[in-house]
Amino acid sequence: MEKIQPKTVHECVTCVQMKPKRFEQIMSDLLPERVQPNRLFINTGVDYCGPVYIRPSNKRSVTSVKAYIAVFICFSTKATHLKLVSNLLTDAFLGALKWFMACRGKVSQIFTDNATNFVGATNELEELSRLFKSDEHLKRVEECLAQDNIRWHFITPRSPHFGGL
């Protein structure tokens, strides 16, 4: 394909009459947590993936057990930390969060979706949606975070790109 020279555009009567203007794509500003250099995992995004099926023993007669993976993502470096969670209960999530902070240090801000992306998903994920929306779960998580002075941010519903990762 041949490249059009500027001289060709200026000699074209139609092009001169239309007076084409050049447009540039404008990129939106990134969150300050994404661009400011900080300690690793100081600003973290959290989400679940799964279910995954694990075998608690190598014996043949043992059946598989359903588990989930909590995914912690550093906002500034995109480093990931994975933690296997046995179920979707509040205690399991808080245990995973405490384990994460014991390994990686305390966080100052956590960003996560507000579980509306799970609405209408498979039956297994409906349980997770009900858990995240329950007042008891939110109250217990807020109490735990208040002790460590951690701010929790929910991104806009149905907008996973607002989390930035």
**Could you tell me if residue 21 is inside a domain?**
no
**Could you tell me if residue 45 is inside a domain?**
yes
**Could you tell me if residue 22 is inside a domain?**
no
**Could you tell me if residue 51 is inside a domain?**
yes
**Could you tell me if residue 82 is inside a domain?**
yes
Q: And the tokens for 79?
A: 């480093």
* DSSP collapsed to 3 states, the chain: CCCCCHHHHHHCHHHHHHCCCCCCCCCCCCCHHHHCCCCCCCEEEEEEEEEEEECCCCCCCCCCEEEEEEEEEECCCCCEEEEEECCCCHHHHHHHHHHHHHHHCCCCEEEECCCHHHCCCCHHHHHHHHHHHCHHHHHHHHHHHHHHCCEEEECCCCCHHHHCC
Q: Are 94 and 141 in contact (CB under 8 A)?
A: yes
Which pLDDT score, from 0 to 100, does residue 24 have?
76
**Could you tell me if residue 59 is inside a domain?**
yes
The CATH number that applies at residue 66 is 3.30.420.10
**Could you tell me if residue 34 is inside a domain?**
yes
Which pLDDT score, from 0 to 100, does residue 125 have?
45
Q: What is the pLDDT of residues 39-83, one digit of tens each?
A: 899 988 888 888 899 988 888 888 889 999 989 999 888 899 999
Residues of the chain with pLDDT under 70: 1-10, 20, 22, 114-130, 132, 157-165
Contacts of 27 (CB under 8 A, 6+ apart): none
pTM over 0.85: no
Is the bond preceding 51 in cis, omega lying within 30 degrees of 0? yes
**Could you tell me if residue 98 is inside a domain?**
yes
Number of domains the chain contains: 1
Residues of the domain holding 131: 28-163
